[in-house]
Chains A and B, each alone.
Chain A
């Protein structure tokens, strides 16, 4: 079976390409800079002689200590948690209401949301940010977490609406209409008949809102002040201000810390992520 062997080889090669950079960086984050960026031999990052010479053991948490405690990365982690939690909650609330309304109304505006969702997916977020800055400075709401949260919710809205709208289209109309025949108001029908069956779609959409808020660099780096910074801009600022010896490892440790939750997320929600990615393809 040469063909199976060939395919297996190719798959293994791809696996190596996809996973190795992360494993390498995670391993290297426990070394000192002289090892991770070794002038003599790259194998040093693997074995760690300089780490052993400097700290007495071949693994060190000094990068993590420096990033989390000295540079107060924990503050950024806290800010990210707040931003991500609020963005996911608010955009799902708005999105389920809006998506449900769209799916149940007879109007032909599905085309227009689709167009909006398309254009906003293609439009660089930084173009919108350049429109926010001046008004936000003038109104004195620049730099605070709530401003950033509502901006991220709005940017995410077209996509959320589109996904939830197509999800609600698959829930039969009869379900909530029969509830209304039984004397429910529209809102009661939504709460009692639709909410219990909508969770799969909401979880998938929520995952993508989470990723948008968690991975965002453009909005958070431009709209947050220094002390309110979230993780990703914080890591970027490590690079800018702390080029001196030793501080690069802070950025490496912080980057690995920011990657870890995503690994767990993929492990737990692999099925939902895959179905979310393919949903658009199947529905056209």
Chain B
């Protein structure tokens, strides 16, 4: 079947090859600065100082664009896995809290912890909120349903960066939510952007707001297929509304919840745009923004560092998905 070739070729060239390229790049670091002694003469006499030799650097970069070979050094340095720093922190710290504070100062672990917190806090909240909305919408009159679905889709469909910006402008201390919060807590200095904790909470709230529509739509579609006779017989047996939801609806929708959880785990693990939109890199960096800021740094991107973080992230994705992968593999073997 020749039909598969265009898409297979595109995937090999732009997905498989880049991953190999990332793995290769992660073994290199940028060149050391070449210094030259420059005589600089001013009105107060001449002195010699060390400067970066820009011409020699440029030549070196064209000769060896990858940088110099560093082996696995990038993986273990302070801005990645930081084994040395971890050992030192463990030895020097008095208690677990102290150790944790020190770990939070290491960029990779800080990003990893934020990413994991975001993933595992937002995902369950999305499922619960989506389910509540779906049940509520199912109970209201049919005339409302069309508009409700239309408006509910908006937070999910709108570009994540723009969605984040819209909320960011509203929580500005001069924006509607920011100003209202200041009045509510009677604290004119209150700013959601200033404290790391509040920034984290804001990002979580954004995440739930953005993804709840997805869970709602899937649950709502599922609710339409709940067997009516089971519900009726439960009603005949005297089950209250709450009992019917608990013993009939929820078990019936369980597979859908698993599906949503899987999708959300994957989407939330790569959280990126909200952190950029909320300008929150200082207090909440995720694995993705860590790579992004490496590639954006200074005059010349830190390819080696970005590549090492990328590979560690891909590794994290595989670990995250491994239960699902194993289950799918078993089902596949079973069927085939």
Secondary structure at chain A's binding surface: helix, strand, loop or mixed?
Answer: helix
The smallest C-beta distance from B184 to any residue of chain A, in angstroms, reads 13
Residues of A near B332 (CB, < 8 A) are 108, 111
Check B328–A114 contact: CB distance below 8 A.
yes
Selected from A6, A101, A282, the residue in CB contact (under 8 A) with B1 is A101
A18 and B157 in contact (CB under 8 A), knowing A7-B140, A101-B1, A130-B291? no
A263 nearest CB neighbor, chain B only:
B154
B66 interface hit (Cβ, 8 Å): yes
Q: B97-132 toward A: CB 8 Å interface, digit per residue (1/0)? A: 000000000000000000000000000000000001
The smallest C-beta distance from A227 to any residue of chain B, in angstroms, reads 19
B332 nearest CB neighbor, chain A only:
A111
Check A128–B148 contact: CB distance below 8 A.
no
- The stretch of B34-42, B229-237, B313-321 that contacts the partner chain: B313-321
Q: A18-57 toward B: CB 8 Å interface, digit per residue (1/0)? A: 1101101100100000001111011001000000000000
B90 interface hit (Cβ, 8 Å): no
A154 and B162 in contact (CB under 8 A), knowing A111-B329, A118-B321? no
Secondary structure at chain B's binding surface: helix, strand, loop or mixed?
Answer: helix
State A107–B271 Cα separation when bound (angstroms): 36
Residues of B near A161 (CB, < 8 A) are 7
State A15–B154 Cα separation when bound (angstroms): 10
State A102–B8 Cα separation when bound (angstroms): 11
A251 and B140 in contact (CB under 8 A), knowing A222-B295, A277-B217, A281-B259? no
B256 interface hit (Cβ, 8 Å): yes
A68 interface hit (Cβ, 8 Å): no
- The stretch of B48-56, B73-81, B300-308 that contacts the partner chain: B300-308
User: Which B residues form the contact surface with A (CB < 8 A)?
Assistant: 1-4, 6-8, 10-11, 13-15, 17-22, 25, 65-66, 132-133, 135-137, 139-140, 144, 146-155, 157-163, 165-167, 169-170, 172, 174-176, 179-180, 209, 213-214, 217-218, 221-222, 241, 255-256, 259-260, 263, 265-267, 269-270, 272-273, 276, 279, 287-288, 291-292, 294-295, 301, 303, 306-307, 310-311, 313-314, 317-318, 320-321, 324-325, 328-329, 332, 336
